[in-house]
Amino acid sequence: MKQLLCATFEGIDAKTVEVQFTATKGLPAFTIVGMANTAIAESKERVKSALLSNHFTFPPKRLTINLAPSDIRKEGSHFDLALATLIALGEHTCELEGWYVFGELGLDGSVSENSLLYPILLSLANQGVITKAIVPACAVDKLSRIPSIAFYGTYTLTQTLEILSDPSKQIPMSRSTFDFPHLVENHIPYFYDQHYPLDFKEIKGQEHAKRAALICAAGMHNLLLEGSPGSGKSMIAKRLAHILPPLHNDEMLECAKLEILEGKEPSFRPQRPFRAPHHTSTPSSIFGGGSHKAQIGEVGLAHSGMLFFDELPHFSKTVLEALREPLEDRHIRISRVNSKITYAADFLFVGAMNPCPCGNLLSKVTPCRCSDLEISRYRSRLSDPFLDRIDLFVQMHQSAAEDQPSYTSKAFHDKVLTAFMSQKKRGQTRLNGSLGDDEIDRFCPLGTEEKGVLDHAIGRFGLSFRAVGRILKVARTIADLENSEAITKGHLMEALSYRRR
């Protein structure tokens, strides 16, 4: 028996699959067993054609391919190359241990890639189970960004056999490096992009809201913008996505994986994901799901980035209440009869809403047409437990003729980078907005006067333990923006001013 290694998806993680081959006496037949899907079953014809087109003999025996373990459903055309290679080797002796082989075969024996290849290899690399792989040459430039794997590119089935016959004559592709501006802390580079297609200089006035957006970006704090139509809520949210903190190498690779899972070609730019689903989106599209195979939703695609809900109260009650789990736990679990999956969902949440159904409650010019009951019903769509997970609340005023532009996105981004480095120099592995309870005690200490201010606020406003923790994290970010090692009374007072009244 000969065997090579390949992999398939189980949920959102890849599982190693042993591709085992035997040729026994009996009536000629070619069988693939091991819960293979239609794409793999159809590979029999592609494999036959590729072998015969390249002058290989198809053994007149009973050929059996087993994909182990047999209790995992396998899918993907990338198994083709491993199947054909095992048959083509025939009686030849090669050292196959540890070799992963991926590629879809053409009828002429050419090797091409499929969309599952990058996320599978990245998942295997994160698990530390792979050191070398034969992959389509056309995908090597993209795949070589994944660390710890020696990639051998191949164009044809024949070239694959040459690599396995004598790997010492082949030169594996070295890992590519990212050519972007970066900051370095503890020998770890953090990359960022200085391209701002949407700029804060285009927003006139709204200084209070722009200050909140800066704090939001610097610490990845959840933000809720409330204001009349046309006040600039969506403008601020869309520009916020371009001034978020930098990414280290592993985060950039994860972002590329999410782009591929969405069906896009990965850009490999240090740009955090930005997801803005419509308020008519179903719970399954937001959180993921599926009856037989759990698919990732908008919440998972926003991991390490930003999730923006415009017209927040118009989202279904089911969606808003289900959002409480990922906002608090930074992950989400999808449970179905046939599959149960947990995936990371650590994102910055930004919401925008009108003050009332007609939107004119805060207007000084246009009278509001809503009754008190309509306003009450509109606001009650957002529950207190949901709102308790929001760090910054901002009420925006209508724009005026005398309003002028102030800061640019580059100026804001420079402040965010400074605050980011302050957090990393303190030894934080997570940004301020994601700190746990033990980390809050460690990184957000208060002096005697500041503790008195906080205790007074707790008694006056009835703050929950969660709200107190979020206030301390916001105050920590404000101090970082001002290059202050300690949280002062002024920082704490500003943090309190952003709490919901």
Element (H, E) at 135: strand 132-136
Instruction: Give me the pLDDT at residue 175, please.
Output: 61
Ordered by start, the domain boundaries in the chain are: 2-169, 202-399+412-427, 435-501
pLDDT in tens, 241-268: 999 999 998 898 889 888 887 878 888 8
For the chain, what percent of residues have pLDDT higher than 70?
Answer: 97
Give the fold, CATH level 3, of 202-399+412-427: Rossmann fold (3.40.50)
CATH assignment of 2-169, among 3.30.230.10, 1.10.10.10, 1.10.3720.10, 3.90.1530.30: 3.30.230.10
Q: Which of 403, 501, 5 is nearest to 204 (CA)?
A: 403
Instruction: Give me the pLDDT at residue 293, please.
Output: 66
Domain 435-501 has CATH 1.10.8: yes
Rounded distance, CA 67 to CA 5, Å? Answer: 9
Does the structure show a pLDDT above 70 at 176? no
Element (H, E) at 20: strand 13-24
More confident residue, 35 or 476: 476
Averaged pLDDT of the chain = 90
Rounded distance, CA 242 to CA 246, Å? Answer: 10
Give alpha helix (H) positions in 79-197.
Answer: 80-89, 117-127, 140-143, 157-165
User: Looking at the whole model, is its pTM more than 0.85?
Assistant: yes
pLDDT in tens, 51-63: 998 888 888 889 9
Element (H, E) at 34: none
Instruction: Give me the pLDDT at residue 173, please.
Output: 73
Does the structure show a pLDDT above 80 at 178? no
Q: Binning pLDDT at 50, 70 and 90, where does residue 166 land?
A: confident
Query: One fold for both 2-169 and 435-501?
Result: no
Q: Cβ distance 113 to 130 under 8 Å? A: no
> Angle between the 207-219 and 409-425 helix axes, to the nearest 10 degrees?
40
pLDDT in tens, 42-90: 898 999 999 998 888 888 889 999 999 988 889 889 999 999 999 998 7
pLDDT in tens, 298-349: 999 999 999 999 999 999 999 999 999 999 999 988 877 667 788 889 999 9
